[in-house]
Amino acid sequence: MRAVTKRRTWLYFIPYGLWLALFVIAPVALIIYQSFFDLGHHFTLGNYSTYFQSATYLKMTLNSVWYAFLITLFTGLISYPTAYFLHQLKHRQFWLLLVILPTWINILLKAYAFIGIFSQAGLANQFLTFIGIGPQQILFTNASFIFVATYIQIPFMILPIYNSIDDLNPAFVNASRDLGASNWQTFRRVIFPLTLPGVKAGVQAVFIPSLSLFMLTRLIGGNKVITLGTAIEEHFLTTMNWGMGSTIGVILIVAMIIVMTLTGDKKPKGGAPR
């Protein structure tokens, strides 16, 4: 009897195993494999040594991490209070829907919309002219790049935080108040630590994609912000040096693993679906 159920569970695992092997393990393995070949298809470690010896790539990595950090930081600063207040509202499911709504729209369309808003004759500049400041250069600045990237990432941060606030047992908050804690103390000692898993999940969902943004760097940043994504795109599409492109891909995967470990959940608790 036991053996039968065991074999059954094993059978159930086959589709998942195949899925993992084909769509997760195989692509990653291919990227790692490719990263060891040069333009002439010879095995080499040269791509990695080029990467670590090139000031350009290192600076680009620094740039990527720095901008991803800023984007994550601003997203977090906006999302946590938003999620918190959203949770207190009456029709919260409706408001939550409004937060998620922009994710239904393609990222390119959103970027083009921002081009319209930020351009010389756009809404933002019309407003600045109206209040007497006069038109400013908004597009192609670091600030506009961070602004748009933050706007795009906000829903991915709000959702996990909202879920973890939702999971928070209000009895804890009441108990804290009853025991004489101030609002701030309640927040710092009870609410925030208990919703931290949501924040961590949000950081993972925002930081990692931000590392390799490349369409936005061109469309909104005017290529004044160069991230690793730009380099990967160029290596795969223009120079066709897939080896070097894969090497940078591997570096991003490693960065991802580092972020996952740093923000990882030790107790597999906390309702933070991604």
Rule CB under 8 A: which residues touch other proteins? 39, 56, 59-60, 63, 115, 119-121, 137, 139-140, 218-219, 222-224, 226, 230-231, 234, 237-241, 244
Quote the least distance from Cβ 12 to other proteins, whole Å: 21
Q: CB 181 → other proteins: shortest distance, Å?
A: 44
Q: Which is nearer to other proteins, 133 or 240 (CB)?
A: 240
In angstroms, give the least distance from the CB of 210 to other proteins: 18
Q: How far is CA 20 from CA 24, 30, 35, 74, in A?
A: 5, 14, 21, 34
Q: Which is nearer to other proteins, 198 or 221 (CB)?
A: 221
Report how far residue 152's alpha carbon sits from residue 107's, in angstroms, rounded to the nearest whole number.
Answer: 8
Q: Which two tokens stand for residue 251?
A: 């570096």
DSSP H helical segments within the chain, as ranges? Answer: 2-20, 26-34, 46-53, 55-88, 92-100, 107-118, 123-130, 142-167, 170-178, 183-186, 192-211, 215-219, 228-237, 242-262
Q: Which is nearer to other proteins, 56 or 129 (CB)?
A: 56
- We find the least distance from the C-beta atom of residue 195 to other proteins, in angstroms, to be 30
Q: Please report how close the Cβ of residue 260 comes to other proteins at its closest, in angstroms.
A: 28
Cα 241 to Cα 235: distance, rounded to the nearest angstrom? 5
Rounded to the nearest whole angstrom, what is the least distance from the CB of residue 149 to other proteins in the complex?
17
CA atoms within 13 A on the CB side of 137: 5
CA-atom Rg of the chain in angstroms: 23
37 φ/ψ angles, rounded to the nearest 5 degrees: -120, 145
Closest CB to other proteins among 82 and 119? 119
Beta-bridge partners for 37: 43
Residue among 34 and 241 whose Cβ is closer to other proteins: 241
Q: How far apart are CA 118 and CA 130, in angstroms?
A: 15
CA dist., res. 17 & res. 13, Å (int) = 6
Tell me the C-alpha distance between 222 and 159, whole Å: 30
Q: Which is nearer to other proteins, 157 or 211 (CB)?
A: 211
Supply the minimum distance, in Å, between the C-beta of residue 119 and other proteins. 5
Nearer to other proteins, 161 or 211 (CB): 211
